[in-house]
Amino acid sequence: MTAPDTILINGKFATLDPANPAPEAVAITDKYFSAVGDASEILNSAGPSTKVINLSGRRAIPGLCDNHIHVIRGGLNFNMELRWDGVPSLADAMRMLRHQVSITPPPQWVRVVGGFSEHQFAEKRLPTLDEINAVAPDTPVFILHLYDRALLNAAALRAVGYTKDTPNPPGGEIQRDAAGNPTGLLIASPNAGILYATLARGPTLPFDYQVNSTRHFMRDLNRLGVTSVIDAGGGFQNYPDDYKVIQQLHDEGQLTLRIAYNLFTQKAKEEKEDFLRWTKENKYQQGDDYFRLNGAGEMLVFSAADFEDFRMPRPDMAPEMEGELEDVIRILAQNRWPWRLHATYDETISRALDVFEKVDKDIPLEGIHWFFDHAETISKRSIDRVAALGGGVAVQHRMAYQGEYFVERYGATAAESTPPFKAILDAGVEVSAGTDATRVASYDPWVSLSWLVTGRTLGGTRLYPDANCLDRETALRMWTEKVTWFSNEIGKKGQIKIGQLADLAVLDRDFFSIPGDEIRQTTSVLTLLGGRVVWGSEEFGPLAPPPPKAMPDWSPVNSFGGYHKEASVPNTVQRAAATSCGCDIGCAVHGHDHAQAWTASAPVSDLKSFWGALGCACWAV
């Protein structure tokens, strides 16, 4: 009998296996769980080279899987982005911005690209253009807020060349002052094309920097307990050119996530040609357990894309939608390729189902794992139609970021089941959860899990009654075993079970017992991918490989890392302060030595007292 490579003991294992819900120990052999059960029996199987890891009573869960994220595109840009994800106040966010502006060399931009909502800030507002211009008079600053708007300072307007003579593009508005000059506010009306097209005008990273950037993005996902993702493609993400970085990381054995990717068409009216070519040149599921083709979408045809911006009225899809969508669905069905379709509103979903039902009469869809993404306002009738065709629904936590806007437009009663994930579950339809990160919602799975359990937005608004919230085990299954249907990997991962891939996260707190308002602060202290340690902190830090320094040197990652957690405030301060003060203008103590003042074990309250006594606000950076 082969001795295990690794044994995990003294943990609270949430296996999600009903036949073995709470074992004492877990063994891993050759990338798979090889024993799950009695501690003494498993320890007796250890050999001379077996690594035994004591979890010290911590909660262990299957590795999390995001059903919808733009990780490939996000990785190319992660090192250039200042992340406001989880930052508790606008004052904190602006201090971060000031610091980043001070170290970003020309002609580079400072960009805050999604992942936050004004409602998360204590001030409940976005920065004004005057505030941004005061912080950054010469460095271009681009701030993307959800799907609805972007804020550009004067330097960014100059960099992109927007003047009083620049016309509004289709579907977007360049806000102007009384003299007709752009103010710096770009509005999506009704779609985000203007926002993304403007962002695309900024500098890009060289290839080797993009490799480094993608590694850092994956590492931050590992920090949050994520081990698998389904990449939904994305605007300005061309296949195969923009997949070269992730392919190289795969070929070099440096992926720390399992990535199933969908192909996303990029040119309106040329969608059919794309899918004819792709289905001819590629095979569904080509690749391996680390990097594999998962099908088509989320963009199938541009005429069916109902971008959600709840500040705007619901857009009506073009009359040519059905014909163009049918052409693509027939290609996919004939080639037995699964697909995913971005659809916010039931009106779009109903029309798409008309097409799917028509194709099904000629080419049965049975066995094809197709599904709708988002589906915020899907009706009971549409849920039943999805069930009849054997499809699924992939929900994401976009309402956690903009539920207040939905309530303002449609009312609190309508918001109570938007999306109706509980009703979808009860109907027996395949359903799972994800984020839609990074340009709208954040990539933090714990925001999604908090939203599923508590029904609250980042701003604290209670959207859902208890009847449309999930218990914690069901919510966790939405992020683990239930995602496997959407990637055609049922039984391969998603549980801590003999024979499944050894993907696992050990948490810094017990998800099953902490207060609901604490769920969002959860992180992993130990993350395993196929039994390999890809992230470790606290007592498990020495087990993990050290990260490379983020490239370029001025990368926001080197100062602030990625997702902000309350528990990580001291580390954020340490990184930023060691580089530069970053205080507000008017701080009385620019000269004191933050690095000497820092004590790694000091609690936040002590740091506040220490630096506050000096008259310095740097602790809040």
Using one digit for the tens of pLDDT, what is the confidence trace for 266-302?
999 999 999 999 999 999 999 999 999 999 999 999 9
Alpha helices in 481-545 (DSSP H): none
Paired residues of 61 in beta bridges? 505
Hey, is 38 helix, strand or coil? Answer: coil
Q: What is the pLDDT of residues 369-422, one digit of tens each?
A: 999 999 999 999 999 999 999 999 999 999 999 999 999 999 999 999 999 999
| pLDDT at residue 383, rounded to an integer | 98
DSSP helix/strand/coil, 72: helix
pLDDT of residue 227: 99
In terms of C-beta density within 10 A (0-12 exposed, 13-18 middle, 19 or more buried), how is residue 498 classed? middle
pLDDT digits (tens, 9 = 90+) for 499-535: 999 999 999 999 999 999 999 999 999 999 999 999 9
Q: DSSP per residue over 587-607, as a string?
A: -S-SSS-HHHH--TT--HHHH
CA-to-CA separations, 307 to 193, 223, 301, 360, in angstroms, rounded? 10, 30, 13, 27
The mean pLDDT value for 139-150 works out to 96
Q: What is the spatial distance between Cα 501 and Cα 479, in angstroms, rounded to a whole number?
A: 16
3-state secondary structure of 429: coil
Q: Tell me the pTM.
A: 0.91
Whether the Cβ atoms of residue 523 and residue 552 lie closer than 8 Å to each other: no
Sign of the torsion angle spanned by Cα atoms 536, 542, 545, 548: positive
Q: Give the bridge partners for 395, in sequence order.
A: 433
* Burial track 336-374 (b if 16+ CB lie within 10 A, e otherwise): ebbbbbbbbbbbbbebbbebbeebbeeeebeebbbbbbb
Distance separating alpha carbons of residues 615 and 609, to the nearest angstrom? 10
CA 274 to each of CA 68, 95, 324, 329, 534: distance values in angstroms, whole numbers, following the listed order: 21, 45, 13, 12, 36
Q: How far apart are CA 425 and CA 409, in angstroms?
A: 27
- Least-confidence region, from 206-210, 349-353, 577-581: 577-581
CA distance 394 to 375: 8
Average pLDDT, the chain: 91
pLDDT in tens, 50-98: 999 999 999 999 999 999 999 999 999 999 999 999 999 999 999 999 9
Helices and strands in the chain: count of H runs, count of E runs:
21, 22
| Predicted confidence band of residue 307 (pLDDT cuts 50, 70, 90) | confident
Q: With a cut of 70, say whether residue 242 has pLDDT above it.
A: yes
Percent of the chain at pLDDT exceeding 70: 91
Q: What is the pLDDT of residue 592?
A: 29
Are 17 and 496 in contact, with CB atoms under 8 Å apart?
Answer: yes
* E strand or H helix that includes residue 533: strand 532-536
- Report the pLDDT averaged over residues 214-236: 97
CA distance 193 to 191: 6
Higher model confidence: residue 572 or residue 364? 364
The angle that helices 346-362 and 321-334 make with each other, rounded to 10 degrees, is: 50
Whether the predicted pLDDT of 579 surpasses 90? no
The pLDDT score that the predictor gives to residue 122 is 97
Residue ranges covered by each domain of the chain: 565-621
What DSSP state is assigned to residue 554?
T
The pLDDT of residue 526: 98
Q: How many degrees, rounded to 5, is the angle at CA 429 between CA 428 and CA 434?
A: 125
Say whether 79 sits in a helix, a strand or coil: helix
Express each pLDDT in 411-455 by its tens digit: 999 999 999 999 999 999 999 999 999 998 999 999 999 999 999
**Cβ-proximal residues to 270 (8 Å cutoff; 6+ apart), any chain:** none
Please state, as a whole number, how many other Cβ atoms lie within 10 Å of the Cβ of residue 78.
29
Place 1 in a pLDDT band, splitting at 50, 70 and 90: confident
Q: Where are the beta strands (DSSP E) in 204-355?
A: 226-231, 258-263, 291-296, 340-343
Q: 570: which residues sit within 8 A by CB, 6+ positions away? A: 598, 600, 602, 603, 604, 607
Q: Provide the b/e sequence for 269-305 (b: ≥16 CB within 10 Å).
A: eebbebbeebbeebebbebebbbbbbbbbbbbbbbbb
